[in-house]
Structure 1
Amino acid sequence: MKHILYIIGFLLPLTVFSQQEKVLTISDTTLVNRWAYLESNWSYKKGDNINWSDPKFDDSSWTTISSKNLNKPNNKIIGGDNEIVWFRKLIKTDSTFNNPIVLNVYQVGASEIYLDGKLVQTLGKVSSIPEEIETIISWKIVFHLPLEKNKEHLLAIRFVNSQRKYPKYYINDGHIYIKATSIHNILTTDPRLVTPIKETRNYYNNLYIVFGIVLFMFVLFLFLYIFFKREKINGYFALTSLLYSCFLGAILLEYKTNFYEFKYDFIIGILNVLYPLSVLYCIYKIFNKSIGYFYWGITAIGILFIFSGFLVSSVYTGPIFGVIILFEFLRISSLSFKSDKIGALIFLLTGVLNLIFWVIATLHRLGYIDLPQLIYYVPFSYILLPLSIAIYLGYFFGNRSQSLRLNLERVQKLSKEKESILSEQKDTLEQQVKERTSELNQSLEELKATQSQLIQSEKMASLGELTAGIAHEIQNPLNFVNNFSEVSNELVDEMNEELDKGDLEEVKAISLDIKQNLEKINHHGKRADDIVKGMLQHSRSSSGTKEPTDINVLADEYLRLAYHGLRAKDKSFNAELITDFDENMGKVNIVPQDMGRVILNLITNAFYAVNEKANSDIEGYKPTVKITSKRTPHLGGVGGGSQSVQISISDNGNGIPKEIVEKIFQPFFTTKPTGQGTGLGLSMSYDIVTKGHGGKLIVETSENKGTTFIIELPNSTDN
C-alpha cells in the first residue's frame, strides 16, 4: 500500500505539469511534500551562444521536448561527447505560492543555470574546448531559484555531457534531470516527507551501518581464528568480511566525491567479484564440498566481469554476478540438506530472499520495472549472506559448546561416583607402592652387587688371558737363572782345584766368569720380577692416578703377552704380529693399569676375530694383527699447536656387521658364544678412554675385510 501511495504521489505532479501550457505555473499546492520533475515543454538546440540565455531571444525554431531526462528524450542522447546543448523553459509562480523554490540538477556532466539571462548556478565547468571541461555528478547539490510571484521567468540551461574514457557504456550517459521543491521540504524534519536526496542519504547512512557491522564481524572472527587456529572457517570468514568491508568502503569513497572516477568503479567491480567468491568458498568449506568445476567456472565468469569493467559499468555486472553466485549458493545448500538440515535451511532461506531481491534489482537497473524505494534495502541485502554465515557459525559453535557442556556434566557426575572408589584404591595403591619400592630397592642392591661381580669377572678374565703368556715370558729368565747358576757352581769347583794347584792366574779368570754369570742371573731375575710386578699391577684396582708412561712399551708388552696366552690355549693358533711405533712418541699421562686393560681387551678381540676367520678355512688367508702409534694434530687445538696420541689396533678378520656397530659399546652386548664373553670389555674400554682420559675410542670396520679400533688421547706430556 505504501508503494502505491508513493507512485500516486510521484505521478500527481507529472499530471499537473503535463496539463500546463508552455509556461509552467507553480502554485502553493504543486510542491507540497514532494519533488517535481520539470520535464514538460522544454526547447533545446545544439550549439553554444551565450545570447540564448536572454529572455528576449526567440527560440520558436528550437525543438520542443517533454522528457524527464532532458538530454535523452526517447532514450536517445541529444548532445554527445564535447557537444554543448542549450535548454530553455518559461516558468512562473502564482500568488498562492509562499515558499522559495530550490532546484536540484541531477547530471553526469557540466552545466550552467541561467534565470532571465543571469547565471545563478555553475555545476562543473562548461567549455567548447574538451580539455577545459570539468564534469560533476551533482545529485547532492541544491540551490535557490529566485522567482518573483506572478512574474514569468526564463530558465535556461547550458549543458555538456560527461567526458570519460572508460567504461565505454555507462549507465548515466547523458543524464540531466531538473527537479524542483520548496525550501520547506528541504528544511523539514517530518519523517513522512521523503525527497530523492534524502532517499540517497538514507541509503548511504544504511551503508555506513552495514559497513560498521561487517568491520565488527571481521575483527570478531579474526580474533576467533587467532585464538582457535584449528577452526579455519573463522579465518575464511574473517577474510570474507575484510573483502566485503573493502567493497563497502570503496562505495562510500565514491559517494564522497561529486566527480565520476573510473578507478572507484573498477575497484568496486573487482571487489564485487572477490567478495561473493569468498562467501561461496565459505559455504563449500562449511558443507565440506570439494572445489570443483562449478566454482572454477563461476570464478572464470567473475574474472570476465572484472575486465568487462572497461566496457560496461560494474553497476550492471555486479547484480548479474550476484545472481549467479546465489544460484550456486542455493545449489550447494540444497545438496547438503540431508547432512546438515539446520545449516541448509538457514542458507536456503537467506539465499532465496537475496535472489528475489537481486532479480528485482536487476530488472530495475535494466529499466523493466521502476521501484525507486528499492535503494533503501540494497545495503541490507549486501549483508544478508555474510550475516547468514555468521548466524550459522554462531549456531554451530554454540551447539558444540552445549554438547561439550553436557559431556562435562556427565564427566563430573561420573567423577563423583568414582571419587569414593578412587579414594579406596588410593590407600591400596600406596601400600602396594611401598611394597614394590622395597622390592625394587632390594633388587637394585642385588643388581649393584652383580654388576660389581661382573666387572671383577671381566678383570679376572683379562688376567686369565695374561696367565699363559706370563708363564711363557717368565720361563725364559728362569731358564737363564738356572743355567747360569749351574755353570757358576761348576766354575766354583774348578776355581777350588786351581787354588789347590796354586795357579792364581787361572783362578782370577774363573772368578771373572763367575762374576759375569752372576750379573746375568741378576739381570734375568729382575726381568722375572718386572713380569710379576706387571701381573700384580694389572690384577689390582686402579688408583686412577695418571703418570707419564711409555705407551709404546706398554702396547708391545701386552701384544706379546696376549699372543702367548692365546698360543698356550690353542697350539694351532698362529698370526703375524706387526708393530709400527712412533719412536718420538715419548711419554704420555695415562693411568697405566686402565690403559693396559683397554689395549689388552682390543688386542684379545683382534686375535679372536682373526682366529674365527682362520677356522673358516679360507684359502690363502693369513691372520694378521697390527698395532701402530703416532702423534697427530688434535681436533680441539687452536692453530694446530695441540697434539694427540693415537694407538691403532687392526685385524684382517670378518669385520663387524653394520646393524650392530652402534651397539658394540653398550654394556652386556656381545657377539661371542655364551660363556666366552661378558659384554663388558668394550663398554669398560670406552668409559676408560672417554671418561677417564678425555679421549676418543673410534671403530672403523668393513665386512669381510677387518676392523680397526683407534684410541685417541689428548694432552700429551713432554718427551
Structure 2
Amino acid sequence: MKHILYIIGFLLSLTVFSQEDKVLVITDSTVADNWMILGMDWRFQKGDNKLWANPEFDDSTWNEFSNNNLNLLDGKNVIADRGEIVWLRKRIIADQSLNDAVVLNIFQEGASEIYLDGKLIHQLGNVSSNKDEVIYHNPFSQVLHLPLEIGKEQILAVRFVNAQYKYPIYYHHNGLIRIYISSLRNANSTDVVKNKRVAYFQQYINNYNISLGLAILMFIIFLSFFIFFPKERINGYFSASLLFLILFTLGVLSFHDSTGTYFWLTFYFDTCVLISSLILLFCFYKILEQPIDLVFKIISFLCFSTICCYFLFNPDALGPIWSIFFYAGIIRLSLKSWNKNKVASFLFLSSSCINLAFWILMICWYMGLVDQRIDKFIPFAFMLIPVVLAIYLGYAFGKRSQDLRLNLNRVQELSKEKESILSQQKDILEQLVKERTLELNQSLDDLKATQSQLIQSEKMASLGELTAGIAHEIQNPLNFVNNFSEVSNELVDEMNEELDKGDLEEVKAISLDIKQNLEKINHHGKRADNIVKGMLQHSRSSSGTKEPTDINVLADEYLRLAYHGLRAKDKSFNAELITNFDESIGKVNIVPQDMGRVILNLITNAFYAVNEKKQKDVSFKPIVTVSTKKSDEYITISVSDNGDGIPEKVKEKIFQPFFTTKPTGQGTGLGLSMSYDIVTKGHDGKLKVETTKNKGTTFIIELPN
C-alpha cells in the first residue's frame, strides 16, 4: 500500500511539473529587443461562451496545440471554419526581470476580442455568430497594450471568428490569427530588424507618403504645363495618369486604418493603379510616335479583364501578373523605337526592365520562393516609371528650349549680317519707289485721259445714233418754213398789185394770210430750235443738277429720235413702236441729260436686238415697247424688246465696263456700265434686267418716288 501511494505521489508531481512547463514566462531578455510570436502551448475550444475568459474556468478538457497560426491545429487542419467562433487560452507570467511595459501586435483575417484574466482589454472588429454582424478587422499596424502584473500567473484568452470577406469568390484560405509580443520600448524603435513588426510597416507607410508627395508635385507641375500649353497634350495624359496614381496611394494609406471594407478598398486602389499604368502606356506610344497597335489593345483588354477578375481571385496576386505584361509592352515599344528616339527608348527600357525584375521577385515572394521581404519597395516601384517619364518630358522641354535659343541666335546673327545689306537696299528701293511712283502717276494721268476720251466717245456714239433722227426731225419744220416763205413772198407781190389798184379790202385780206403764214413759220422755227437745243444739251457735259423733267416726253422723244436715226442708216429696218405712259407721273426730279443717255442707250440696244433677230428670220416682226408707271415707292421706266434674249452667262457681265457682245468697232462696252452708274449712283435708283430665251428682254429703271 505504501508503494502505491509513492507511485501516485510521483505521478501527481509529474503532472504539476508538466503544468508549470506550459506557463509562458515573459522575461526582459525575450521581449526587450524582439517580437516573439505566441505560438506554443495553447488550448482551444470551438463554440462561444464568454465565461471561458475567466481565469477560474477549468480548461483542462480543451484540446492543446502549438502553431504560429492559431487557427491551424497542426499546420493543415482548420480549427474554425468561415463564420465559426473559437476560444483560445494561454497561461502567461511576467518575470521580475521585466522592466518595461508589454505590448501585442496581432495579424488576423477575421475579428477577435482579447481578454486578460477575464477582462476585455481589446476589441478588434466585431465578433458574432451571425455572419452579417461580423466586422472584419486586421490590426497589424497597431501596437496593443498588455497590462501584465509582475510575478502573477494570468490567463490570456482570445475570442476569434474566422470572417474572411465575401470577395474574391475563389480566394479562400484557412483563416489566420498570429499574436506577437514585445516590449513597448522595442515597439517604438525605428530599428527595422529588431522592430520588424512595427518599424518595417512604418517604413512601408513612409515610403508611400514619399511617393504620394512626389506624385502630387508632378501632377501639379504637368497639369499646369497642360493648362498653359494645351497643345502639348502629352502633359494632360501624364497628369491623368498621375491623378489615378495619387488616388491609388491614398487608397493604400487609408487601407490600414479602415475596418470591414478591405476588399472594396483593395479593388479601388488596385483598379486605380491599373488605369494609371494603362494611361502611362498610352503616353509612351505618343512620345515614341508609335500608332496604337494590337499589342496595346490586348494589354488594355487584359487590364479591364484583370479588374473584373478582382471579384474572383486575389487582387494582390493578379496585379503583379498584369504588370509583367505591362512592362513587357513598354520594353517591346522601346526596342521598336530605338532608332527613332534613343534617349526615350533607353530611359523607358531600363526602368521597365528594373520594374519587371522587381515584380517577378514579388510573385516569387508571394509564392514563398523568396524569403527576403521586398514589399516595402512597392511604392518606389510604382513611382519609377512616372518619374522616368517626367524626367524625359523635362529633357524634351529643355531640348526644345535649347533648339529655340540656337535658332534665335542664328536669326540674330543673320539679322546683323543682313542689316547692312538691308540699309543699302533701302536706299535703292526708295529710289526705285520714287521712279515707279512717277511712272504710276503718269500712267494714272494717261488712264484718266483715256477714260475721259472713252466716255466722250460713248457720248458721241450716242449722239451719232441721234444725228440722222435729228436731221429727219429738223427737215419737217424747215420744209414748212420754206413752203410758207414762198407762199408769203407771192402774197406780198399780190398785195402790192392790189395797192396799186387801190383795193384796200383785198390788201387787208392778203395781209391776214401773210400774218398766218408768218405765225406758222415762227412755230416751225421754234420747233427746229428746240430740236437743236436738245441735241446740244445731250452733247455737252452734264452739270449734275437735277431738275423737274417730264419723263414721258423725254422717253417718247428719244424713242422717235433713235428709231429715225436707225431708219436713216438702214432703210430696210422697220419696227412696231409701242408706248404705254402713265400720265399721272408728272414731272420727276432728275438730271435730264444723264437720264436721256440711259433711255437712249436702252432703246438703241433694244433696236439692235430685234434687228439681229430680223436678219436671221425674215418673218419676224420687231416690237419695241417703252412704258412708264408710278407706284408708292418707285417711278418705273421699262424698255422691252422681243428679240432672242440674253444668255445667262452673259447676263452676269452686262453691267461690267468694256463688256460687249457686239462685233469689234460697233460698241465700246461702256453703255450699260455708264447707265448703271447714272441710275444707281446718280439717282439712288435701280437698273434691273429680265430676260427669257427666244422671247426678249426688258430693262427696268426704278427711281425713288
Asked whether the 8 Å contact 2:248–2:273 carries over to 1, the reply is: yes
Q: Which residue of 2 aligns with 1:640?
A: none
Task: Find the residue that maps to 1:154 and give its secondary structure.
Answer: strand
Q: Which residue of 2 aligns with 1:232?
A: 233
Task: Find the residue that maps to 1:159 and give its secondary structure.
Answer: strand
Asked whether the 8 Å contact 1:162–1:173 carries over to 2, the reply is: no
Cα separation, 2, equivalents of 1:76 and 1:482: 154
Q: Which residue of 2 aligns with 1:382?
A: 382
Alignment match of 2:672 (pick from 682, 701, 713): 682
What do residues 144-173 of structure 1 show as CA deviations (whole Å, max 9, x unaligned)?
110122332222222234475544356898
Task: Find the residue that maps to 1:89 and give its secondary structure.
Answer: strand
What do residues 232-283 of structure 1 show as CA deviations (whole Å, max 9, x unaligned)?
3333333333343343344445455344165544443443332222111121
Identical aligned residues as a percent: 58
Query: Under a length normalisation based on structure 2, what TM-score does the superposition of the two structures give?
Result: 0.85
Q: Which residue of 2 aligns with 1:337?
A: 338
Cα separation, 2, equivalents of 1:349 and 1:625: 95
Task: Find the residue that maps to 1:30 and give its secondary structure.
Answer: helix
Cα separation, 2, equivalents of 1:707 and 1:456: 27
Task: Find the residue that maps to 2:105 and give its secondary structure.
Answer: strand
Cα separation, 1, equivalents of 2:605 and 2:82: 105
Task: Find the residue that maps to 1:29 and give its secondary structure.
Answer: helix
Report which stretch shifted further, 556-565 or 171-180.
Answer: 171-180
Query: Under a length normalisation based on structure 1, what TM-score does the superposition of the two structures give?
Result: 0.84
CA change 1:101–1:566 in 2 (3 A) is farther
Q: Which residue of 1 aligns with 2:411?
A: 411
Q: Map of 1:492-641 to 2, 5 A cutoff?
A: 521-615=521-615, 617=616, 622-631=621-630
Cα separation, 2, equivalents of 1:578 and 1:469: 18
Report which stretch shifted further, 70-79 or 389-398.
Answer: 70-79
Cα separation, 2, equivalents of 1:321 and 1:95: 54
Q: Which runs of 5+ in 2 are unaligned?
A: 1-19
Asked whether the 8 Å contact 1:284–1:332 carries over to 2, the reply is: yes
CA change 1:600–1:96 in 2 (3 A) is farther
In the alignment, is residue 128 of structure 1 matched against residue 108 of structure 2? Answer: no
Which amino acid is 1:444 matched to?
L
Deviation at 1:285, TM superposition (A): 1.6
Deviation at 1:332, TM superposition (A): 1.2
Cα separation, 1, equivalents of 2:176 and 2:625: 107
Report which stretch shifted further, 555-564 or 66-75.
Answer: 66-75
Cα separation, 2, equivalents of 1:630 and 1:172: 106
Q: Map of 1:186-225 to 2, 5 A cutoff?
A: 186-188=187-189, 194-225=195-226
Task: Find the residue that maps to 1:92 and give its secondary structure.
Answer: strand
Q: Which residue of 2 aligns with 1:451?
A: 451
In the alignment, is residue 155 of structure 1 matched against residue 159 of structure 2? Answer: no
Which amino acid is 2:180 matched to?
K
Cα separation, 2, equivalents of 1:575 and 1:161: 120
Q: Which residue of 2 aligns with 1:280?
A: 281
Q: Which residue of 1 aligns with 2:440?
A: 440
Cα separation, 1, equivalents of 2:40 and 2:207: 34
In the alignment, is residue 112 of structure 1 matched against residue 101 of structure 2? Answer: no
What do residues 338-384 of structure 1 show as CA deviations (whole Å, max 9, x unaligned)?
22222211111111111111222233345544443x23221221122
Which amino acid is 1:402 matched to?
Q
Which amino acid is 1:542 matched to?
S
What do residues 489-537 of structure 1 show as CA deviations (whole Å, max 9, x unaligned)?
66777788889796959976x8777666666555544443333333222
Which amino acid is 2:289 matched to?
N
Report which stretch shifted further, 299-308 or 564-573.
Answer: 564-573
Asked whether the 8 Å contact 1:102–1:181 carries over to 2, the reply is: yes
Asked whether the 8 Å contact 2:109–2:164 carries over to 1, the reply is: no
Asked whether the 8 Å contact 2:105–2:197 carries over to 1, the reply is: no
Task: Find the residue that maps to 1:556 and give its secondary structure.
Answer: helix
Cα separation, 2, equivalents of 1:76 and 1:515: 159
Which amino acid is 1:54 matched to?
N
Q: Map of 1:136-175 to 2, 5 A cutoff?
A: 136-162=137-163, 164-169=165-170, 174-175=175-176
CA change 1:503–1:318 in 2 (3 A) is farther
In the alignment, is residue 645 of structure 1 matched against residue 635 of structure 2? Answer: yes
Which amino acid is 1:426 matched to?
K
Which amino acid is 1:543 matched to?
S
CA change 1:619–1:258 in 2 (3 A) is farther
Task: Find the residue that maps to 2:178 and give its secondary structure.
Answer: strand
Q: Which residue of 2 aligns with 1:241?
A: 242
What do residues 43-101 of structure 1 show as CA deviations (whole Å, max 9, x unaligned)?
33332111121223333444444444434664776545543332222223322221111
Task: Find the residue that maps to 1:711 and give its secondary structure.
Answer: strand
Asked whether the 8 Å contact 2:135–2:259 carries over to 1, the reply is: no
Larger Rg: 2
Cα separation, 2, equivalents of 1:651 and 1:200: 106
Deviation at 1:403, TM superposition (A): 3.1
Q: Which residue of 1 aligns with 2:56?
A: 56
Task: Find the residue that maps to 2:299 and give its secondary structure.
Answer: helix
CA change 1:503–1:327 in 2 (3 A) is same
Report which stretch shifted further, 299-308 or 334-343.
Answer: 299-308
In the alignment, is residue 183 of structure 1 matched against residue 184 of structure 2? Answer: yes
Deviation at 1:433, TM superposition (A): 2.3
Cα separation, 2, equivalents of 1:262 and 1:531: 113
Task: Find the residue that maps to 1:282 and give its secondary structure.
Answer: helix
Cα separation, 2, equivalents of 1:618 and 1:205: 108
Task: Find the residue that maps to 1:412 and give its secondary structure.
Answer: helix
What do residues 304-357 of structure 1 show as CA deviations (whole Å, max 9, x unaligned)?
223233333543333222221211111111111122222211111111111111
Q: Which residue of 2 aligns with 1:361?
A: 362
Q: Which residue of 1 aligns with 2:98?
A: 97
What do residues 184-212 of structure 1 show as CA deviations (whole Å, max 9, x unaligned)?
12334568765433433333333333233
Q: Which residue of 1 aligns with 2:6?
A: none
Q: Which residue of 1 aligns with 2:426?
A: 426
Report which stretch shifted further, 476-485 or 342-351.
Answer: 476-485
Asked whether the 8 Å contact 2:688–2:699 carries over to 1, the reply is: yes
Cα separation, 1, equivalents of 2:351 and 2:556: 96
Cα separation, 2, equivalents of 1:607 and 1:21: 141
CA change 1:540–1:190 in 2 (3 A) is same
Asked whether the 8 Å contact 2:35–2:194 carries over to 1, the reply is: no
Q: Which residue of 1 aligns with 2:681?
A: 691
Cα separation, 2, equivalents of 1:576 and 1:322: 99
Deviation at 1:387, TM superposition (A): 2.1
Which amino acid is 1:713 matched to?
L
CA change 1:308–1:559 in 2 (3 A) is farther
Cα separation, 2, equivalents of 1:618 and 1:297: 82
Q: Which residue of 1 aligns with 2:350?
A: 349
Q: Which residue of 1 aligns with 2:4?
A: none
| CA RMSD, Structure 1 to Structure 2 (Å) | 3.6
Which amino acid is 1:566 matched to?
L
Cα separation, 2, equivalents of 1:594 and 1:81: 112
Report which stretch shifted further, 651-660 or 198-207.
Answer: 651-660
CA change 1:24–1:570 in 2 (3 A) is farther
What do residues 666-693 of structure 1 show as CA deviations (whole Å, max 9, x unaligned)?
4334444443333333333332223222
Q: Which residue of 2 aligns with 1:14?
A: none
Cα separation, 1, equivalents of 2:209 and 2:388: 19
Cα separation, 1, equivalents of 2:599 and 2:72: 111
Q: Which residue of 2 aligns with 1:45?
A: 45
Q: Which runs of 5+ in 1 are unaligned?
A: 1-19, 634-642
Cα separation, 2, equivalents of 1:34 and 1:571: 138
Cα separation, 2, equivalents of 1:103 and 1:419: 84
CA change 1:667–1:326 in 2 (3 A) is same
